Structure 1
């Protein structure tokens, strides 16, 4: 990881490091209630989308293509939700705001991975879901499948 600030984000529990591009870093999110959910952070300290450089945007477009293809190929994801929600950074006792995206694959079918069933009961809607408890072994299998497709 090239960015000291992103190292802090990893400690802040954006998730486990998964992959990086020249300008963005991808974490496998802690909550896998939607299989393959990731957090993508800009590798430099920035607060606003309006301050992303043209080079960073071009790199982001490539990352979107790679990540969406990886999840389609790995788990047959049906569609994807992308969002940049900075609200929690403005609560007390948090890190300074840092531009990041939430990537949430959505499924209109069950996905089975090593005997664990992942369901998306609110497909077509955006409803909060409690964290899905999975073993570190299953988490590692998710990472491996996505990484195979990102390479």
Structure 2
């Protein structure tokens, strides 16, 4: 994993595999790729809520939204992207230690063929649990390479 002040802690949260970073945000390819290109974007300092982000962090996040959506649209022809800031799992423990992060979930009207796999979005238009998509580490690397190419 890439070395940065928060990566070890973020790795424990299982946000995924390091993909890239900006001054304020770290991008991970999410463990579950049932929606091709799904990522987690975490704040590059420990903070638990949207309240308290400074204007520079917000501004950079807005730029990152455009950059990520364009990259995945070019790479895999996503139809749209859902963004979610869901902190629930941190509060399942008695002593929560939340870390601000966003879920970046590309959605696809049509199946996508990539690296010998068919990625389907059978619940397109709805938010339903996505079963894990089993792919090899080699395919994960190919996904990351294709996203980076368009960032």
User: Which residue number in structure 1 is paired with residue 67 of structure 2?
Assistant: 66
> 1:6 offset after TM fit, Å?
3.4
Determine the C-alpha separation between the residues in 1 that align with 2:68 and 2:31: 17
TM-score by length of 2: 0.94
Structure 2 segments unaligned to the other structure (5+ residues): none
User: Which residue number in structure 1 is paired with residue 115 of structure 2?
Assistant: 114
Tell me the number of residue pairs that the alignment of Structure 1 and Structure 2 aligns: 150
User: Which residue number in structure 2 is paired with residue 88 of structure 1?
Assistant: 89
Aligned residues of 1:110 and 1:120 also touching (Cα < 8 A)? yes
Aligned residues of 1:35 and 1:118 also touching (Cα < 8 A)? yes
> 1:129 offset after TM fit, Å?
1.2
> 1:3 offset after TM fit, Å?
4.4
Determine the C-alpha separation between the residues in 1 that align with 2:26 and 2:4: 9
In 2 relative to 1, CA 93–12 (structure 1 residues): closer, same or farther, beyond 3 Å? farther
In 2 relative to 1, CA 29–94 (structure 1 residues): closer, same or farther, beyond 3 Å? farther
Question: 4+ residue stretches of structure 1 with deviation over 6 A?
Answer: none
- What does 1:15-54 align with in structure 2 at a 5 Å threshold? 15-54=16-55
1:133 aligns with 2:128: no
How well do the aligned residues superpose, as a CA RMSD in angstroms? 1.5
Deviations 1:66-104 (A, max 9, x none): 000000000000001000110111122786101000000
In 2 relative to 1, CA 2–58 (structure 1 residues): closer, same or farther, beyond 3 Å? farther
Structure 1 segments unaligned to the other structure (5+ residues): none
1:7 aligns with 2:8: yes
